[in-house]
Each structure stands twice: as C-alpha cells, then as structure tokens.
Chain A
Amino acid sequence: MSDDKKTMTLNLTDAEMRVLEDLAKKKDLTKTAVVRQAIRLYQMVDARLAAGDKLVFEDEKAQKKVELMVL
C-alpha cells in the first residue's frame, strides 16, 4: 500500500463503460474502486493459477462444478 497514486486515461468501449458503471452502482463503489478491485482479484487469481491451482465455480444445489479458464 502506498499513498502515491498515478493517474491514467482508460479507453473503454460503451459496453465496457456500462458494465463498469453498473458494477460501481451495484457495489456502491466509485469506478476507480471497481478497477482497483479488479486488478487485485486478477493478480490473486493469476498467481494461484500460476502455482497450479484451479479456479472453480460450484453450484451446491445442482452439485455442479465448472472450472474457469483464465487467460
């Protein structure tokens, strides 16, 4: 964690911007906070996959597990 913050211009399509705005509204976060969350999550998932772990979504009721492929 560092208080030094950098500013960048983010070029998004209309659809991507709509999703970002919808997520920000749904999660009661700023758009910056949503992007920050996404970066943290992506880094964590990437590190776990690189270590050989799998990312799986589980539907307990339907007793289904689906492995998510991440690029």
Chain B
Amino acid sequence: MSQAQEAVEVIDRATGNPVTAILHKELDELEIIDVEIAWSPVRLQGLRDLRQKGIPANKIPQHVHWNWAVKAIQSSGMLAFRSFGLEAAGAMQGLMIVCLTGKNARLDPDKGKPLVYVDFIETAPWNAKEFTSSPIYKGVGVRLMQAAARTSIDEGFSGRVGLHGLAQAGPFYTNACEMEGLGPDPSYGKLEYFELAAAKAVEFLKK
C-alpha cells in the first residue's frame, strides 16, 4: 500500500461517532484495480436490487457504469494525474483521481490561473444512498474533496478545485463542498461545471 498517507475522520452512521480513516495520497494502478474488484460486485448487486424494485432507468445512479480499473490504466505513470483513496475498517471507502495540469480557473478574480481538476470521485457503493438504504460511512466525499483542495494549496494553486459533476451530485458539490455551479458546459457533454474558489477553500478545509 502507498506510503503517502495521513489520518482523517469520517462518521460511522450506525453510531454517529467519528472513526479514524487513512487517506492514501498516492495509490498505484494495481491498488485501484483491487478496489474495483471489491466494489464492482456490490455496485452491480445494488443496480439489480434497484431494478427489481422497479426504479426507472433515469433514476438509477448515473455513475453505475464507472470502471476504476480502466481509469487507473489510463492515468498510470502520468505525472499529471494523482490517485487518492480513503480506507477504513480495512476496505477502501472512496476513490478520487485528480489532474494537476492544463486546467484553469473560470471564476473571477482567478480566471486563467491553474487549479486541481477532479477527474473522478466516488464513494464505495456501500456508502452511497443511491445504492443502499443503510450506508455505512458519512463524509468520505468531503474528505476526498478536502484532499483535492489541500493538494491545490501544495501545488501553489491556492486551493482552487474544479470538476464536471453528474446532475445527481450537484447538491453535494454546492452544499457540502462550497463550490459554485457555473452551469452546463457544452464542451463537456453538457455536464455542469463546479469550481471551488481560493477564497472559499480555507473555510472548506475547516469542515
């Protein structure tokens, strides 16, 4: 397992108590493939359960087709990408891949300045309300997004973070992550673009 890591807290929903998790800041390709091996059957079972309950196709989780193994291979060995994971109770509870170059802020007053771009972020299917009525951990996504903001500061990007989000995740980015929605992006499949401004990053990191 990767050496670059630190302790963070997430909430055990069963007890409401904080528990210590490990934030991995440098996952390699095989570690990410291992996570997909663990998550994929749970994700597919969740999808099957939803369809068996009669949930229509337009209400199922929009990221149900994601495959982290493919994403890991595409970014493997590339300095522009960095992969993060959040581990608790011996299992990976969330994953994130960020891009560290070629993406610039769209919000004033930092328009045109570099930011950390979140390519993909996902909580484990057993933590996702879309898949289960009894998710295990709360706060996984926020901790990963905070890792993106901290990386942005470390890189000299002042905490700026940007991403294109699926419609179902929009409220998470605006409410929990202090990001501003800039509307659908016609150059990116009309997915909405969200950005964390430098001025909001410090406050977000206190959560």
> Taking the complex as formed, is B4 at the interface, i.e. its CB lies under 8 A from any CB of chain A?
yes
Nearest A residue (CB) for B26: A1
Q: How many residues of B sit at the interface, in one of the four size bands?
A: 10 to 19
Which of the candidate stretches B78-86, B127-135, B189-197 sits at the interface with the other chain?
Answer: B78-86
CA distance A28 to B157 in the complex (A): 8
With A1-B82, A30-B156, A47-B78 in contact, is A37–B114 under 8 Å at CB? yes
Interface of A is mostly: helix
Choose from A26, A28, A44 the contact partner of B80 (Cβ within 8 Å).
A44
Interface of B is mostly: loop
CB distance from A36 to the nearest CB of B (A): 8
Number of interface residues of A (CB under 8 A): 15
Residue ranges of B at the interface with A (Cβ–Cβ < 8 Å): 4, 25-26, 78-80, 82, 100-102, 110, 112-114, 155-158
Residue ranges of A at the interface with B (Cβ–Cβ < 8 Å): 1, 3, 26-30, 33, 37, 39-41, 43-44, 47
